[in-house]
Amino acid sequence: MTATTSPGPAGSTVERPTSVDEAVKVLRDSRGSVLFRGAGTKMSWAGRPENPDLVLETGGLDRLLDHNPADMTASAQAGMPLRALQDRLAEAGQWLALDPPTEPDGATLGGLLATGESGPRRLRYGALRDLVIGVTLVLSDGTLARAGGHVIKNVAGYDLTKLMYGSLGTLGLIAEVVLRLHPRPETSATVVVPASVQEATARSLDLLAAPLEPCAVDWVGDPRGGASSGRLAVRFEGTAAGVAAQTAALRGRLDGAAPEVLANTDEAALWREYAGAHRAEPGQSMAFAGTLPSRLTAVAAALADAADAAGVDVSLASHSALGLQTARFSGPPAQQAAALDRWRREVLALGGTVLLRERPAEIDAAAVDALGPAPSAVGLLRALKARLDPDGRCAPGRLAPWL
């Protein structure tokens, strides 16, 4: 097969290579700005990409290249949807331990690495950067770069995986990845208990100190509500005996609360609902905050205050044991912008960060900064950008004004 070429939006050319060699040729033989696109599930995250001269789609790079069940590794092209990979790995009783909310929408391996998206199971298994042990990149001039390998303990070369994680396509094309796999758990169960955000914070911190090993601890609810304004969900996976023992131990620590234990279809439905809480509906804005887990109550209070001051509705979904929060804003765009700005200032004062993800176009017109203040290492980031993409071809606008 050969790469296909077609006209794109606003005069852009769209290329769809089917091999790494074709991707190398496309970038080597082209000029001007380039935007890399997988399934397009997160193109609105961070800065809006400027109209590129070239759109390089990875949908043709969708093959599982190798799967070694004995070593529990696999290599795949970066345009392969995570859902398709999981189906293939399931035949051997294995999986890539990743559960991002955009998986049902066709999120690809390269897109997930480039955006740094993860899900609730990050608590136990880590983020995708912890599960990728090798990567193949194509730089903007067509140069091919590889790091890592097919062995989990392989440490050869510069750690390009960590560099590309969250880079939003600004440094080069992620073409292939080598992945560390895990056995599929025998069973799972989720303990659900009504909880205010204050109770969720305390229980999450207690779980972090407890001799238990949940794979996910999440709270979803109204940051302005009272005692029953949300639900805390704690998931355990493993052998049937191990899951039963851990759920029993957790129920004993809940201080008279009335927990519900979900399994099978009821459990799956709960986690689909929780995943939806990390997605925005049309007309809503969504922002993602990272803080210490102990700051959840303060983050929620700041969100409630910002919403009340601006006159908008808000909801909060938290990976509470990780300190990762998703806030959704509903209302007139100008008022959403005011609430977003105030909430970010409060989260920054708590030592956290806020990244703007989904939002209406009017939010950008209101000059809301999608990224927030530049990190102290911004000079290093710019030096890396200049080294890997000296002509500034890759994804202009995605990390502006940092890069």
94 and 127 share one domain: yes
Domain with 223 in it = 187-276
82 and 164 share one domain: yes
Residue ranges of alpha helices (H) inside 73-152 are 82-90, 109-115, 122-125, 128-131
123 and 147 share one domain: yes
Instruction: Give the contacts of 38 (CB within 8 A, at least 6 positions apart).
Output: 57, 58, 59, 78, 79, 107, 108, 110, 111
The H-or-E segment that residue 271 falls in is helix 264-276
**Do the domain assignments include residue 295?**
yes
Domain count along the chain: 3
Per-residue pLDDT of the chain (403 residues; tens, 9 = 90+): 456 655 555 677 999 999 999 999 999 999 999 999 999 999 999 998 889 999 999 999 999 999 999 999 999 999 999 999 999 999 999 999 999 999 999 999 999 999 999 999 999 999 999 999 999 999 999 999 998 776 655 555 568 889 999 999 999 999 999 999 999 999 999 999 999 999 999 999 999 999 999 999 999 999 987 767 899 999 999 999 999 999 999 998 887 778 999 999 999 999 999 999 999 999 999 999 999 999 999 999 999 999 999 999 999 999 999 999 999 999 999 999 999 999 999 999 999 999 999 998 888 877 788 999 999 999 999 999 999 999 999 999 999 999 8
**Do the domain assignments include residue 395?**
no
101 and 207 share one domain: no
324 and 250 share one domain: no
Q: What is the pTM of this model?
A: 0.93
Contact 60, 79 (CB under 8 A): yes
296 and 351 share one domain: yes
How far apart are alpha carbons 107 and 111 in whole angstroms?
7
**Do the domain assignments include residue 92?**
yes
Q: Look at residue 49 in the predicted model and tell me its pLDDT.
A: 87
168 and 93 share one domain: yes
The 8-class DSSP code of residue 38 comes to: S
How far apart are alpha carbons 403 and 398 in whole angstroms?
8
**Do the domain assignments include residue 31?**
no
Nearest-CA neighbor of 46 among 358, 316, 289? 358
Q: Look at residue 224 in the predicted model and tell me its pLDDT.
A: 86
Q: Look at residue 153 in the predicted model and tell me its pLDDT.
A: 56
Question: Given the DSSP bridges, would you call strands 216-221 and 313-319 parallel, antiparallel or unpaired?
Answer: antiparallel
**Do the domain assignments include residue 225?**
yes
